[in-house]
Homo-oligomer: A and B are copies of this chain.
Amino acid sequence: MVERVAERLRALEDREAIRDLIARYGPLADRGDAAGVAALFAQDAVYAVGGMGEAHGREAIAALIEGPVHRALIADGCAHVLTSPAIDLAGDRATARCHSVVFRKEGEGWQAVRVSANRWELARAGKGWQVTRRDNRLLDGSDAAQALLGNSAP
**Chain A interfacial positions (CB closer than 8 Å to B):** 1-2, 5-6, 8-9, 12-13, 15-16, 19-20, 23-24, 26-28, 30-33, 36, 74-79, 81-87, 97-99, 101, 103, 105, 108-113, 115-117, 138-142, 145-147, 149-151
Contact = CB atoms under 8 A, between A and B. Distances in A.
11 contacts: A5-B9, A9-B9, A20-B87, A23-B85, A24-B86, A33-B150, A77-B140, A77-B141, A84-B84, A103-B115, A110-B112
Number of copies: 3
A26 B99 contact: yes
A141 B76 contact: yes
A112 to B, nearest CB: 4
Contacts of A86: 20, 23-24, 27
Contacts of A97: 23, 27
**SS class, residues of chain A in contact with chain B:** mixed
| Most interface-central of A5, A32, A141, A149 (chain B CB within 10 A) | A149
